[in-house]
A = this chain, B = another copy of it.
Amino acid sequence: LKKYNVILSGGVGSRLWPMSRKSKPKQYLPIFNGQTLFQLTAERNKTICDQFIVVGNRENYQLSRRDLQANDIMDFVEIIEACPRNTAAAIAFAAFAVQPQDLLFITPSDHLIQSGEAYSSCVLRAFELAESGYIVTFGLKPTRPETGFGYIESKGEQVLSLREKPDAQMAKSFLNEGNFLWNSGMFCFKAGVFLEELKKFEPKVYESAKKVFIQKQNDFLDEKLSMEIPNISVDYAVMERTDKIKVVPAFFEWSDLGSFESVYDYLLSQNHPVDSAGNMVIGTAIHTEFLGVKETIFVYTDDAILVLKKENAQQVKNIYEKLQGQKAKLT
């Protein structure tokens, strides 16, 4: 019985454009004392897990390798996707790569988490539950009525319901209830248990992902076959439907750094400078003055600049999508 940390690293972090790019997704930016979020993820988990499985893609597997090797992690399994097929398939590939009784601890590669006792004890508890055959989610104590996350209605480790991203009013009521936790995108289960549930609820995903996995060439998946896999999230495919679900309430420091709003909050906590109107510069040491604007973030890179009112941080994705059509080399 082995414990694997499955690092999902397919994302681009398009809401962090222009800091994050296809060729340089946010999890590979060495901006945390010289370390990347990917490296921090591996560092955090290497004493808790026996081995790593990286589910990446053709564009970034070299970056993952570089990061792991820079941290002296030489023993890892790679699964290199040809095209993004969402999290249900990505996790299925990892499950096919190991023995049914092996434990998988699934983590995004681009979240910022305070490692330490609070973290380790949560993960160890998740492994215990997983060994008993449960599918475990991690529920974070919400600190604001966030509309960008799914929620877990909980009672201790019991999951009463999973909720998709709420609207603002719903998010507020979730916050008030007290037993609604953020769905962190981290999971833990036996490979075989996950695959059974996936087969039961989404047999097409199961079968097509299996076919792709079996026919992989070295670590590379076939693009044409991959396109036949339904594009479905693991939440929808399994988490919202299985009765084997449990939640480990998690109290460690956590940020998904998913938008410039959370990056702003994080940088503030690190004493990154802001002016008296709450304006912030990211990406350049050039002296910058703001006049007549508030809580505006100026993001500088060599070939693209963003002037962003913080409250519009979620819409950066739209700029990214527009540019994919018009100026793809800037994405």
Do B303 and A288 touch across chains, with their CB atoms under 8 A apart? no
Do B289 and A306 touch across chains, with their CB atoms under 8 A apart? yes
Number of interface residues of A (CB under 8 A): 31
Report which of B288, B296, B304, B311 forms a contact with A286, defined as CB distance below 8 A.
B304
Do A304 and B292 touch across chains, with their CB atoms under 8 A apart? no
Which B residues touch A304, using CB under 8 A? 286-289
Do B309 and A286 touch across chains, with their CB atoms under 8 A apart? no
In A301-331, the 8 Å CB interface with B consists of 302-312, 315-316, 319, 327, 330
Q: How far is the CB of A34 from chain B (nearest CB, A)?
A: 25
Do A309 and B293 touch across chains, with their CB atoms under 8 A apart? yes
Do A292 and B305 touch across chains, with their CB atoms under 8 A apart? no
Any B CB within 8 A of the CB of A254: no
Report 21 cross-chain contacts, Cβ distance below 8 Å, ordered by A residue.
A18-B289, A279-B307, A284-B305, A286-B305, A287-B304, A287-B305, A288-B304, A288-B306, A288-B307, A289-B305, A290-B306, A290-B308, A291-B308, A291-B309, A291-B312, A291-B315, A291-B319, A292-B308, A293-B309, A298-B307, A300-B305
The docked-state distance in angstroms from the alpha carbon of A296 to that of B291 is 9
The docked-state distance in angstroms from the alpha carbon of A315 to that of B284 is 24
Which B residues touch A293, using CB under 8 A? 293, 296, 307-309
In A264-307, the 8 Å CB interface with B consists of 279, 281, 284, 286-293, 296, 298, 300, 302-307
Residue ID in chain B nearest A306 by CB atoms:
B289
Do B319 and A305 touch across chains, with their CB atoms under 8 A apart? no
Residue ID in chain B nearest A318 by CB atoms:
B291
Q: How far is the CB of A322 from chain B (nearest CB, A)?
A: 9
**Candidate in A291, A296, A300, A310 with the most chain B CB atoms within 10 angstroms:** A291
Which B residues touch A308, using CB under 8 A? 290-293
Residue ID in chain B nearest A287 by CB atoms:
B304
Beyond A296-B307, A307-B279, A307-B298, whether A319 also contacts B289 by CB under 8 A is yes
Beyond the given pairs A289-B304, A293-B308, 12 more chain A to chain B contacts, judged by CB atoms under 8 angstroms and listed by A's residue number, are A284-B305, A286-B302, A286-B303, A287-B305, A287-B330, A288-B305, A288-B306, A291-B307, A291-B316, A292-B308, A292-B311, A293-B307
**Candidate in A18, A292, A306 with the most chain B CB atoms within 10 angstroms:** A292
The docked-state distance in angstroms from the alpha carbon of A239 to that of B304 is 51
